Structure 1
Amino acid sequence: MYLKNKNLWKVFVIILFLLTMLLFIIRPNAIPKIDSLFYSEPSILVIPLDDRPVNTYIPSKIGQIKNLKLSFIPDNMYRNPDKLLTWLEQEGVKKDEWVLSLDQVLYGGLVESRILNEDTLLAKKRLERLTKIKEEHPEIKIYAFSSQLRLAPTAFVSDDLDYYTNLRKWGILTDKVNRLHETSLIEELEKVEDSLGEQEINKYQRLRGKRLSVQLEAIHDTKKGVYESLWIGQDDASSVGIHVMERHRLIKETEEINATNITFFSGIDEATSLLVTAITSKKKGNEEKLLIHPIYTNPQEKNQYMPFSSETLEETVNNHVKMGKGNVSKNLEGSQLVLIINTPNTSDVQRDFVIKQVNNLIKKGKNVMVADVAIANKADEKFVKALIKNIPVPSLSSFSAWNTADNTIGLSLAHGIARFETKYNKGISQDQFFSHEELLFRSFLKDYIYKTKLYPTMESMAINQGYDPLSLMNGTEIMEEWLSEEIGVESEKLWLTEFKGYKDQNYKLNNLQSIKTALPWARLFEAQIDPKIE
């Protein structure tokens, strides 16, 4: 009896095995891979550059688009490095991966990193606390980024603008005279030095020395394994300036210690979003990277330096594509994504040709991202009007015209790559589709309607009523009310004419539920414009 039962059991096992193999042959995707049975998305903590919408709202939307387990530090941790480090030691260690701004952890944020109010030793002690966290929790993957000091500090009020301009000028002239030996500029440099005064110049040099020393330390920490990678971005600068020799020093140190996981680039505000996209990319080997084909509205401009950039436009595009886990492709047909770069000095003929090209690409099913870098700090109205008139803008993978060319390119890539990977690698849910369209709609509202159409009027209103656009103070509430009303009108127009009714796969855009607006930093430059759609 035992032998009979044993034989029956063997027959049963064989039949079960054959049925399983038959299922695999008929439906190979029905059987999950072994690693997928045990894999779960890592929990990611974001310690952003600061709490401006570009560093919080946009990366959070990218997290929603990719359906990530993404969380941010509590609101009361910003601008308080030691309190933040204590929180990271107690609560942050519960997360699997960190996207970490060293400016936030060491100084309290980007603006705070430009102020000489602490000694170098204190910043390095904070670096040591990060090292200790990694030693005690080696399983945590920390992806860090840091800004290289820009040419001038923040102008907190309009009265600071002359000081800001002179410091920037001093940094550029000093480099031209000392490194490039342009002796004809010595007299101009001396005039700027007289205007600033020796005390202010010494203070500025101490600040730069402090920042350089701390970044050199961070490079060595990266080599030791504290960080999985370190991105060092050059904040608003130029092709020449005192920052150039600092960059050479940082690169030399990196090469001497053979630290291969350090990336240098131009820009910084785009880093939080692009890093979130990059570290969650499932692309591993170089041969598997996304192929991205850039198209410039005026190809001759790609060798020019954009305002506030330390690289040529083409270098900025190539570096940011690489940072986003992509490769620049010269083959349009073979590429998975196309990046349209609207450049300065684009003729009407060139613009119309590229717009027509975009329309044809979308009809063919190409995934198109748009980076409008023609004008710093706002969109090119002629270009965007032509874009809206001639193509279905909800079908774009991304759009950006925010701040500098570096920022714009990085943000467009971060959004567009996230959209592509989600849509084609995993498929999307309705929530993911809405998150993508909210970010896209918001980019047109913020970068075009607000910065190009509404901002000039708001700036004049603020000045006429006695308020400083850089520090509104008591005028914040008045300007917020006006912003809310005008954005409400403009967003309704854009929604009804371009977005409402758009379909993608099984999902459809129906209603613009709400628009949340604010001026969170009490200045016109930073506006919160958050749409909610359904």
Structure 2
Amino acid sequence: MAALPSVLLIPPDTRPHTLELPASLARMTGATVRIPPAGALPDFFTPGDTDGLRTWLLREAPGAGVLIVCLETLCLGGMIPARRVSDDLPRVLDRLTVLQDVKRLNPELQIFAFGVIVRVAHDNDPHEEKPYYGQWGRELRAYSTAFDRHARHGAAEQEALQAARAAVPEEVLSDWLGTRERNRALHLAALDLLAGGVLAHLCLTLDDTTPYGLAAFDRRMLEARADELQVWSRLDIYPGADEVPCTLLARALRPGAVRVWVNYSGLEGAGAELLYEDRPAGELVRAHLRAAGCVLAHSPAEADFVLAVNTPGTRQAHWQPDHATVDTPHRHLPAFVDGLRASLDAGQTVSLADLAYPNGAERRLWQLLQPLPLEQLAGYSAWNTAGNTLGSAIAFGKLAPLVTDRAAQTGALFARMVDDALYQAFVRSEVRERLQNPSPFDLGDQREAAEAHLRALIAPRIHALWEQHFAGQGLTLDLGQPHLAWPRLFTGVFPLSVQPDRTPAPT
């Protein structure tokens, strides 16, 4: 097997999903991955050092084979800062030119870039958005929908658009739209770099999107430009965001089309509706497969791996259990689990994507999975949006044949089970119940108490999960101190390391 290229990674931010997960996927294949120094990367809504990133790139690029770069981090200080900073467009586009510079320094460097079309946040979050979004989020969302409906359907929507516009202060709307226009211009410039051969591949993704809205309007504008430039063979525009570093890593390290058999938990699972995407589950799967360099297989026998997808009965819901749209007769979880067992018993490579509920595993499915040999899965994912889950699970599956470090692969798999199932599906709500009406946006002085509850609740479960499924394989688990990534419960950090067991055999 040819040596894998050295990878440079500039992620959207420093959360475990966006930084540690792609780095761990690279490590399990034996690929070398280098990231910028911590001070150059963003911290929550504090921007990273764009000058420092440029210096780091110019220094590291001559010795690298692949660059995976988030355009928002490179040019605006991060995915969240890109929605908040006031940097003007000329300065932003000037920062983008470093990609041309490093390509000249190293013509063999394969640059895989991605940008995130500015979302219209579902929650009135004043930290991930500009502060005024905490007050005017609902009205801005209404304007977003009205604008796009008018753009598509014309005069019939004019009155609704005028009412939505009148409900938002002019200075707020102007600033909000200006941020979107600047970031769209960055993505249009990236399309030009793709057409010019500077970029090997480009993903432009829609974060927390809906069928109608300004993100959909932006998508159509970018698609029209892609038509003009004729760059679709190296371009993907689809719903996603935080998982794209994993997607592009899979594309870069294992080029060429990989065949995937998709097994849904319900016979009509491909038609299931999703809360944070603009299309049904089956179309989202196809989009994520293409972005990672995969194609649908015609049968399980010809597939390189099986992607097992737990979809809701008809539509995702927020609260478990939901018997109205998720846990319905439109699917049969015991049969789905039986199929997983059969695939594992047959020695097939299986990666499991659980997207029945956003923001964590389905509790019922997790319990049904426990009799299975979960350590034999090639991948597991159940975090945040359906797109986040799918992109991660597909990357695990595609990279499975390249695994050279079993401890690293086990660590990456186990970390997802700890975070996506143990924390997001169970412990997070238990911590919340122990606090005093915590804000979802900022825990304030309750953060210390939250982290103490987190450690007490999750550490025993982590060790129990390891003992049940992963012990006895010649590997050892070292667990650090669980804590929160940011001052909110949404994202936990679970430092763990899996290493070969070097305990001397008894004499």
TM-score range, shorter chain: 0.7 to 0.9
- Stretches of structure 2 lacking an aligned partner (at least 5 in a row): 42-47, 314-326, 500-507
Amino acid at match of 2:489: L
2:149 matched to which residue of 1?
A: 176
Give a deviation string over 1:141-185, Cα, whole Å, max 9, x none: 211111111123982459955533332232123212332348479
2:146–2:164 contact (8 Å) kept in structure 1: no
- Alpha-carbon distance in 2 for matches of 1:290, 1:139: 24
Distance in 1 between the 2:436 and 2:195 partners?
50
Q: Which secondary structure state, in structure 1, belongs to the residue aligned with residue 249 of structure 2? A: helix
Q: Equivalences for 1:331-346 in 2 at 5 Å?
A: 331-345=299-313, 346=327
For 1:96 and 1:334, locate their aligned partners in 2 and report how far apart those are by CA, in whole Å. 31
CA distance in 2, matches of 1:370, 1:448: 12
**Alpha-carbon distance in 2 for matches of 1:454, 1:161:** 27
1:253-299 per-position Cα deviation (integer Å, ceiling 9, x unaligned): 11212224222121011100111121010x43xxxx32211111123
Residue 452 to residue 166, structure 1, CA distance change in 2 (3 Å): farther
Deviations 1:28-81 (A, max 9, x none): xxxxxxxx7xx6432211111111111111011101111101111111111111
Distance 2:416 2:344 in 1: 19
What's 1:271 paired with? Answer: 244
Q: Is 1:155 matched up with 2:138?
A: no
- Greater displacement, 440-449 / 296-305: 296-305
1:405 equivalent in alignment to 2:377:
no
Residue 33 of structure 2 aligns to which amino acid in structure 1?
A: L
Aligned residue number for residue 433 of structure 2: 460
Match status 1:384 vs 2:366: yes
Contact 1:297 1:351 in 2 (8 A): yes
The answer to whether the Cα contact below 8 Å between 1:233 and 1:265 also exists between their aligned partners in 2 is: yes
> What is the SS of the residue equivalent to 1:333?
helix
Equivalent position SS for 1:413:
helix
CA distance in 2, matches of 1:91, 1:290: 30
Q: Is 2:175 the counterpart of 1:203?
A: yes
Q: Which amino acid aligns with 2:28?
A: I
Residue 219 of structure 1 aligns with an amino acid whose one-letter code is L
Task: Determine if contact 1:459/1:469 at 8 Å carries over to the other structure.
Answer: no
Distance 1:276 1:516, change over 3 A: farther
C-alpha spacing 1:509/1:530, structure 2 compared with 1 (3 Å): farther
Equivalents in 1 of 2:418, 2:90: separation in Å?
44
Cα offset, 1:442, TM superposition: 1.5
Q: 1:275 to 1:516 in 2, by over 3 A?
A: farther
Is residue 156–residue 471 contact of structure 1 (8 Å, CA) maintained in 2?
Answer: no
- Determine the structure 2 residue equivalent to 1:489: 460
Listed as ranges, the matches of 1:368-379 within 5 Å are 368-379=350-361
Alpha-carbon distance in 1 for matches of 2:389, 2:262: 14
1:458–1:479 contact (8 Å) kept in structure 2 = yes
Question: Does 1:523 pair with 2:488?
Answer: yes
Alpha-carbon distance, 1:526 to partner = 1.5
8 Å contact 2:21–2:246 — kept in the other structure? Answer: yes
- Contact 1:306 1:405 (8 Å CA) reproduced: yes
TM-score between both structures, scaled by the size of structure 2 = 0.88
Question: 2:343, 2:482 → 1: CA distance?
Answer: 34
Question: Which residue of structure 2 aligns with residue 126 of structure 1?
Answer: 95
Could you list the per-position Cα deviations for residues 362-388 of structure 1 after superposition, in whole angstroms to 9, with x for gaps in the alignment? 111111111111111111111111112
Partner AA of 2:394 in structure 1: L
Q: Which amino acid aligns with 1:233?
A: T
Asked if structure 2 preserves the Cα contact closer than 8 Å seen for 1:177 and 1:186, the reply is no
After TM superposition, the score normalised by the length of structure 1 is 0.83
- Distance in 2, matches of 1:184 and 1:218, equals 33
Aligned counterpart, 1:65? 28
**Contact 2:273–2:280 (Cα < 8 Å) also in 1:** yes
The residue aligned with 2:376 is 395
With over 3 angstroms needed to count, the CA separation of the structure-2 counterparts of 1:529 and 1:169, relative to structure 1, is farther
Q: 2:76 is matched by which residue type in structure 1?
A: Y
- How far did 1:139 drift? 3.1
2:504 is matched with none
Alignment partner, residue 442 of structure 1: 415
Report the counterpart of residue 8 of structure 1 in structure 2. Answer: none
The CA distance in 2 between the partners of 1:116 and 1:196, in whole Å, is: 21
The correspondence of residues 490-509 of structure 1 with structure 2, limited to 5 A, is 490-501=461-472, 508-509=473-474
Residue 165, structure 1, aligned to residue 138, structure 2: yes
CA–CA distance in structure 2, aligned partners of residues 299 and 75 of structure 1: 46
Tell me, yes or no, if structure 1 residue 476 matches structure 2 residue 443.
no
Q: Does 1:142 align with 2:111?
A: yes
- Which amino acid is the alignment partner of residue 220 of structure 2? H
- Partner of residue 514, structure 1: 479
* Local SS of the residue matching 2:67: strand
Shift of 1:528: 0.8
Structure 2 CA distance, aligned partners of 1:210 and 1:223? 20
Distance 2:96 2:127 in 1: 32
Alignment of 1:77-92 (within 5 A): 77-78=40-41, 79-92=48-61
Q: Does 1:46 align with 2:9?
A: yes
The letter of the residue matching 2:125 is: A
Q: Is the 8 A contact 1:473 1:522 kept in 2?
A: yes
Asked if structure 2 preserves the Cα contact closer than 8 Å seen for 1:170 and 1:192, the reply is yes
What letter matches 1:253 in structure 2?
R
Match for 1:106 among 62, 75, 81?
Answer: 75
2:226 paired with 1:254 = yes
Structure 1 CA distance, aligned partners of 2:205 and 2:186?
14
Q: Is the 8 A contact 1:394 1:437 kept in 2?
A: yes
Question: In structure 2, how many angstroms separate the alpha carbons of the residues matched to 1:511 and 1:40?
Answer: 28
Query: Could you say which structure has the higher helix fraction?
Result: 1
Q: What is the aligned-residue RMSD (CA, Å)?
A: 2.3
Contact persistence 1:116–1:203 (CA under 8 A): no
Question: Which residue in 1 is equivalent to 2:341?
Answer: 359
1:137 offset after TM fit, Å?
A: 3.2
CA gap 1:533/1:77 in 2 versus in 1, 3 angstroms: same
CA distance in structure 2 between the aligned counterparts of 1:178 and 1:326, rounded to whole angstroms: 34
**Structure 1 CA distance, aligned partners of 2:436 and 2:164?**
29
Secondary structure of 1:299 counterpart = coil
| In structure 2, C-alpha distance between the alignment counterparts of 1:231 and 1:200, rounded to whole Å | 30
Cα distance per residue 1:428-481 (max 9 Å; x no partner)? 3xxx111111121111111111111111122233444xx534222433333222
Q: Relative to structure 1, is the Cα distance of residues 461 and 195 closer, same or farther in structure 2, using a 3 angstrom cutoff?
A: farther
Q: Counterpart in 2 of 1:25? A: none
Partner of 2:190 in structure 1? Answer: 218
1:312 equivalent among 280, 285, 296:
280
Structure 1 outlier segments of 4+, above 4 Å: 157-162, 189-192
Alignment-mate amino acid for residue 370 of structure 2: I
1:327 partner SS = strand
